[in-house]
Every structure is written in structure tokens, then in C-alpha cells.
Structure 1
Amino acid sequence: MSYALITGAAKGIGRAIAEDLAAKNYQLILVDVDKEQLAKTAAHLQTKYEVSVKSIPLDLSDPHAATYIFRQTVFYHSKLQIVINNAGYGLNGAFETLGLEQQLNIIDVNIKAQLRIAHLFIPVLRQVPNAYLLNVGSTTSYQSVPYLSIYAASKAFVLSFTRSLRQELKGSSVSVSCLSPGSTDTDFVNRAGMAAHTKKIADRFNMTPQQVARIAVRGMFKGKAEIIPGFTNRLNAVLPKFFPKIITERIAAGIYRPRPEQEPPPSTLLTPS
């Protein structure tokens, strides 16, 4: 009986990954700030797949959150095989107009929480023969994104950190991967406060959370370094390497710049994740 720990698991990609693993008979430890939705997800998975689900409602921006998760899961450590750092969010707007504390909170969740969880649980994962650490980045990891600057920068950190950690753990029992999804049909765009024109662009390229989860889990078990679901998203990750940065930055700014809704949106492949 093996366990998987998943953050940001109440809905979206996190929930879909949890369901994919439950279907494979993994027992689950789910963490999310949305207590009500987390309880619904846990009940659904327990009923449908007859797996054990431990729910931990928690705000990962709290600097003590990772330690709390660690202490709450000590009983399961000997059977913990998978840790998935999925929790994260962004805010759409100009850096100077968004609240500073809000933007620092993004760093707390997207970067600091991932680091703390990884640091605490890597020694735990080393105890089992085949273990997996999956950090969730974004296709924005591969370029600067004006008006989504802190989110994109945080995801660039996740990608760089994960690849470095993968090399450090090479030869150990722990396989480290980074999932970089593109535009996905989740609540991300609403929480980020994106305007209608940005949502319309995202809708054209949306993948479902279930599609992303299937590719993520398969890639994780194969030990891939980077998992980018969908051809368009893989193209978006590669294209910025062949164009001057100023061009890709201008395109991204055109997508995410807040403006009156009567202005026509730009046409481009670059989309949020």
C-alpha cells in the first residue's frame, strides 16, 4: 500500500492527478486551502475508488505549513512514494498596481512552500525503493511575462530548481520531474483576475485537467525531467529560444495587459497556464 501527497488537490490539475493516482490504487494525502472543496474531493475519491484519503486543509503561504504537513503525516512516511508540489497561483496586472503583500504571497506559495516541502520530504522518499517528486511549473517558466511577472518568475524558479535537484538526486531512489502545463480549464484565470480578452485566448488552447493529469502521471513514472502536456505547449516552450526576448515579451504583454474590453485581443500561441 503506497501513499501520494498532493498539494493544491481540491480542484483543477491537483484533483485530476489525485484521481488518476486513486485509480491506480494509491492512498492519498491531500492538501488545499479550500477546506470545503477539499472535503468534497476527498469524499468523492474515497467513494469512487475505495482508497484512504487524509485531508489537510491548510494555507501554504504560512511559513510553518510544511512542518505541519510533515508532522501530520508521520504515520504514513514509511509508505510515502510520491510527493506532488502542485499548489500555486498568480495575479494578472502591472507590478506597481498590484498589492505588494499579494505578490509576496505568490512567492510564499509558489516557491517557499515547494522548497520547504521538498526539503522535509526528500529524506522520507529516500526510504522507499522507487519514489517520485513532481514539482509543478508552467509554460511561463520559459519566458518573461509582463503583467504576470511574479507568477512567471516564480515558475521559472521552479523549473530551474527542479532540474538542479534532479541532478543532485541522480542515482538515488528519488526521481525528480517538473510538470509545465499550459492553458488548462481550471479556475486559474479567475483567481488571477484575468480580463475577458485574455480568457478568450486561453479558451482556444485549453486542455482539460484530466488530460494534463494523465500525461503528468505517465511522465512522472517514466522519470522524465520535464513534462509539457500538449503539442502547442511544447511549441510555446521551444519557440522563445529562437526569437529575441523583446519580441516574445511584447507578445506576452499584448495578451496580459489590462485594457478596455472593446480593444481586439492579439492573436498568438502564447497562453497562460
Structure 2
Amino acid sequence: MSYALITGAAKGIGKAIAAQLAERNYHLLLVDIDQIALAATAETLSAQYHVHVHTLHQDLSAPDAAQRVTTWSSTYHDLLSVVVNNAGYGINGAFETLTLPEQLNIIDVNIKAQVSLSYAYIPVLRQFPRAYLLNLASTTAYQTVPYLNIYAATKAFALSFTRGLRHELRHANISVSALSPGSTDTDFVNRARMGSRTRKIADRFNMTPERVAKIAIDGLFNGKAEIVPGFTNKLNAWLPKFFPKAFVEKIAGGIYEPRDTAPDTVLASGILLK
């Protein structure tokens, strides 16, 4: 009997990853801020896959969030061999027009919670012959993204942190991977307050959460360092390094700047996100 812990598991990619792991006979420890959706997901996965599903309603931006999560999960630490730091979000808008507290809250969830939970669970994962840690980055990690500035910066951190951690643990039993999805059909655009223009662009390139999750878990168990689902997303992660940064920033800004007019470039697909 093995357990997997997934944060941000109530909806979207987190829910789909939980389903992938349940299909592989993992029992589940699910954490999310959305208590109602989390309960519904737990009921669905338990009935469909006949696994044990335990849930914790927790805001990961809280100062004591990591301690609360690890205390709650401690009963299952002897069986916990997979940890997925999936929780994260962003807000679309110019830096100076968004409040400082809401932008610092993004950092708390996307960076502080990921780092804190990685630190807390590495000793737990070390006890198994083979264990896995998956951290969520994004295709926005590969370039600056104006008007989604804080989110993209946190994802750049997540990618760098995860790769560095992977190297440090290269001789250990823990396989560490970063997942960098692109545009995915989730609730992200709603929480990020995306405008209709940006949503229409994203809709053209959306992957389903289920497809992303399948690629993610296959890549995790195959020991991949970076998992970028889909050919278009791989291209989008690779191309920016060959263009001047100012050019890439102009393209990204054209996509995410809050306005009604459509961007005037076919390269707009290159900076889409989870």
C-alpha cells in the first residue's frame, strides 16, 4: 500500500494527477483551499478507483501551512512515496495596479509553500527504495511575461529550484522532476482574471488536464528532469532563448496586457501558460 500527496488537488491538473496516481493504485492525500470541490473530487476518485482518499482544507499561503500539512499527513508517512507540489496561481495585470498583498500571496503559494513542503517531505521520501517529488513550474518559466510578471517569476524560481534540488539528490533514492505545462483547460484563467482576448488565444492551444497529467506522471516515474507536455509547449519553452529578450517581452506583453484589441502577431501562442 503506497500513498501520494498532491496539493491543489481539487480541480484541474492537480485533480487529474490524483486520478492518474489512483489508477496506479496509490491511495491519496489531497490538499486544497477549495473545500467543496476538494470533497467532491475525493468522493469521485474514491468511488472510481477504490482507493483511500483523505483530504485537508488548507490555504497554502498561511504562515503555518507546511506545518499543518505535514502534521495532518504524519499518520501516513510510513507509506508516503510520492509528493506533488501542484498548487499555484497567478493574477493578470500591471504590477502597479495590483495590490501588494495579493502579489505577495502568489509568492507565498507558488514559492514558499513549494519550498517548505519539499523540505518537509524529503526526509519522509528518503525511507523508500524509490520515491518521487514533482514540482509545478510552467512554460512561463522560460521567459519574462509582463502583466503576468509575479506568476512567471515564481515559475522561473520553481524550475531553477527543482533542477538544483534534483542535482543535489542525484545519488539519493528520490527522483525530482519539474512539470511545465502550457495552456491547459483549467480554472486558472478565471482565478487569474484573464480578459476575453487572452482567453480566446489560450483556447486555441489548450490541452486537457487529463492529457497533461498522464504525460506528467509517466515522465515522473521515468525520472525525467523537466516534463513539458505537448509539442507546441516544448517549442514554446525552447524558442525564446533564440530571440532577443526585449522581443520576447514585447510578444508576451501583447498577449497579457489588459486591453480589448487583439495582438498583431502569430507568435502570440508562444507564451501561453498552465
Q: With structure 2 as the length reference, what TM-score do the two structures score?
A: 0.98
Alignment-derived partner of residue 34 in structure 1? 34
- Distance in 1, matches of 2:6 and 2:139, equals 20
- Distance in 2, matches of 1:264 and 1:176, equals 39
- Distance in 2, matches of 1:264 and 1:18, equals 37
- Distance in 1, matches of 2:96 and 2:73, equals 40
Q: Supply the AA of the counterpart residue of 1:272.
A: L
Alignment-derived partner of residue 146 in structure 1? 146
* Residue deviations 1:252-271 (CA, integer Å, cap 9, x gap): 00000011x2x223432221
Deviation at 1:66, TM superposition (A): 0.8
Q: Supply the AA of the counterpart residue of 1:142.
A: Y
Deviation at 1:225, TM superposition (A): 0.3
Unpaired runs of 5+ residues, structure 2, are none
Alignment-derived partner of residue 251 in structure 1? 251
Alignment-derived partner of residue 118 in structure 2? 118
- Distance in 1, matches of 2:25 and 2:161, equals 30
* Residue deviations 1:85-112 (CA, integer Å, cap 9, x gap): 0000000000000010000000000000
1:1-273 equivalences in 2 (<5 Å)? 1-259=1-259, 261=260, 263-266=261-264, 267=266, 268-270=268-270, 271-273=272-274
Q: With structure 1 as the length reference, what TM-score do the two structures score?
A: 0.98
- Distance in 2, matches of 1:111 and 1:69, equals 16
Q: Supply the AA of the counterpart residue of 2:172.
A: S
CA RMSD of superposed structures (Å) = 0.6
Q: Would you say the 8 A contact 1:7–1:32 is kept in 2?
A: yes
Q: Would you say the 8 A contact 1:85–1:114 is kept in 2?
A: yes
Equivalent pairs, count: 271
- Distance in 2, matches of 1:120 and 1:97, equals 35
* 3-state SS of paired residue (2:108): helix
Unpaired runs of 5+ residues, structure 1, are none
Q: Would you say the 8 A contact 1:82–1:125 is kept in 2?
A: yes
| Identity score, percent | 63
Q: Supply the AA of the counterpart residue of 1:264.
A: A
Q: Supply the AA of the counterpart residue of 1:78.
A: D
- Distance in 1, matches of 2:255 and 2:66, equals 35
- Distance in 1, matches of 2:146 and 2:69, equals 34
Q: Supply the AA of the counterpart residue of 2:175.
A: S
Q: Would you say the 8 A contact 1:63–1:113 is kept in 2?
A: no
- Distance in 1, matches of 2:223 and 2:118, equals 17
Deviation at 1:63, TM superposition (A): 1.4
